[in-house]
Structure 1
Amino acid sequence: MGESLAADPGPGRQLGQLLQPRHRDGAQEVRAPVRASGSRDNRAPDDRSQDHARRRGYELCDQRARALRPDDFERFDLLVAMDAGHLRELRRRCPAALQHKISLLPGEIQIPDPYYGGADGFDHVLDLLESGCARLAQIAAGRLA
């Protein structure tokens, strides 16, 4: 199985692409590697993103974004866009035979960019991401069962 990639973060969205989904079903835990892609190549997540994530037990200090590469569509099993604009861009760049690998988070969750707002925006983004990643992990666990 390939890796999972979340695509094209804005300055504050980088946080979302870097959370690793966790789901507990009895003793089973599903973890998926997550990579970030975007225009902020090799940059760490925004300090506010890191602070809010750390309060919830996520450590992002070693994470770095990178630009989406043409071979990512072959390499990764799933590319998760954070909003409809990113979804359109991924679909535009993806070969027709690999379009099935691209989606929003389950439930068509779209992640807003908290970069220009207040602290509540980062918490809201985390809430959305945890919910979407939990659903994604449930789907993955069902397919692996």
Structure 2
Amino acid sequence: MTKVLMVCLGNICRSPLAEGILQTKVDPQKILVDSAGTGGYHIGSQPDQRSIAVARKYGLDISHQRCRKFDTQDFADFDIIYVMDKSNYEHVIAKSRNQSEQMKVKLLLSELNSNLQEVPDPYYGGEDGFESVFHLIDNACEIIAQKLNAK
């Protein structure tokens, strides 16, 4: 089984969306998807209501997810760790203990042939930010799913 972890800052906006989106595109018997945050601000909480709403708009229910903080054990537990932006990338890399762990970490949007490298954090914006973030993540997850499903 391939295990994929999606990581953002608080694990309430972007990474829960990425977890939910990718789960719908892969075989759950072959691929496990989870999410975490680099900050521990919302441990145990549901994703942001705006993330839940935009997911629901596209037929996904992420309301069952609960926020958790990224831990060094995640390097052992997951095969691929996708981060939403450079700040999260640096934070996760700083927790790595060796090059093997570092090689598991990638920017989510690196999967797209795009100049955009970071999924913007929609937390302090309006609902339209969640809408655009949903589509960015969905496009990246489509490519990731194609690669994972081909294995």
TM-score, normalized by length of structure 2?
0.81
Task: State which of 88, 99, 104 in structure 1 corresponds to 2:102.
Answer: 99
Deviation at 1:56, TM superposition (A): 0.3
Match of 1:78 in 2: 80
Structure 1: 5+ residue stretches without partners: 24-28
The C-alpha deviation readout for 1:50-98, integer Å capped at 9, x for no partner, is 0111010110111011111221101101111010110111111112222
Q: Give the letter aligned to residue 35 of structure 1.
A: D
Deviation at 1:33, TM superposition (A): 2.9
The C-alpha deviation readout for 1:94-142, integer Å capped at 9, x for no partner, is 1222211110121374211111111110110100010000011112123
TM-score, normalized by length of structure 1?
0.84
Q: Distance in 2 between matches of 1:63 and 1:109?
A: 26
Verify: 1:50 aligned to 2:52, yes or no.
Answer: yes
Question: SS at 1:41's partner residue?
Answer: coil
Question: SS at 1:80's partner residue?
Answer: strand
Match of 1:26 in 2: none
C-alpha contact (below 8 Å) 1:3/1:77 kept by paired residues: yes
Aligned-pair Cα RMSD in Å: 1.9
Q: Distance in 2 between matches of 1:8 and 1:17?
A: 10
Identity, % of aligned positions = 30
Deviation at 1:13, TM superposition (A): 2.6
Larger strand share, 1 or 2 = 1
The C-alpha deviation readout for 1:12-41, integer Å capped at 9, x for no partner, is 334334324244xxxxx5454322212221
Question: What is the number of residues matched between the two proteins?
Answer: 138
